[in-house]
């Protein structure tokens, strides 16, 4: 398995600035790190975000109710801060 490290899309000795960034076309996400532009992956879809939130809420609730089913480190580090659903 290789490291999943972002590589710059533009290879150049030139350092880019905020002024350069403001002139780039919309539609792509870019980040400039120490003058080097990196093309960023798109934001996750709304569906993806809802699924991840659902999983986090369910897992957090489970570990709050059943701390002995998981590592104490997991239980303490990822304690759910989402209140339970009123119907539960």
Per-residue pLDDT tens for 50-78?
999 999 888 888 877 876 665 554 545 55
Q: Are residues 36 and 21 in the same domain?
A: yes
* 1 found inside a domain: no
* 84 found inside a domain: no
Q: Are residues 29 and 52 in the same domain?
A: no
Global pTM?
0.39
Domain count, the chain: 2
Give the pLDDT confidence score for residue 54 in this predicted structure: 92
Question: Which residues are registered as beta bridge partners of 37?
Answer: 32
Q: Are residues 37 and 53 in the same domain?
A: no
Structure tokens given for 66: 């059943």
| Residue reference for tokens 């980040």 | 31
Give the pLDDT confidence score for residue 29 in this predicted structure: 82
Calpha distance 26→45 (Å, rounded): 18
Instruction: Single out the residue of 41, 63, 60 nearest to residue 52, CA to CA.
Output: 60
| Residue reference for tokens 């480190």 | 73
Q: Domain range for residue 50?
A: 46-77
Task: Taking residues 42-46, report their average pLDDT.
Answer: 85
* 85 found inside a domain: no
């Amino acid at each position: 398995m290789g490291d999943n490290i972002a590589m710059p899309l533009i290879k150049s000795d030139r350092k880019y600035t905020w002024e350069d960034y403001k002139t780039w076309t919309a539609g792509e996400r870019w980040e400039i790190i120490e003058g080097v532009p990196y093309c960023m992956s798109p934001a996750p879809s709304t569906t993806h975000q809802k699924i991840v939130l659902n999983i986090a809420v369910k897992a957090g609730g489970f570990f709050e109710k059943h701390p002995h089913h998981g590592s104490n480190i997991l239980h303490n580090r990822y304690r759910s801060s989402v209140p339970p659903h009123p119907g539960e």
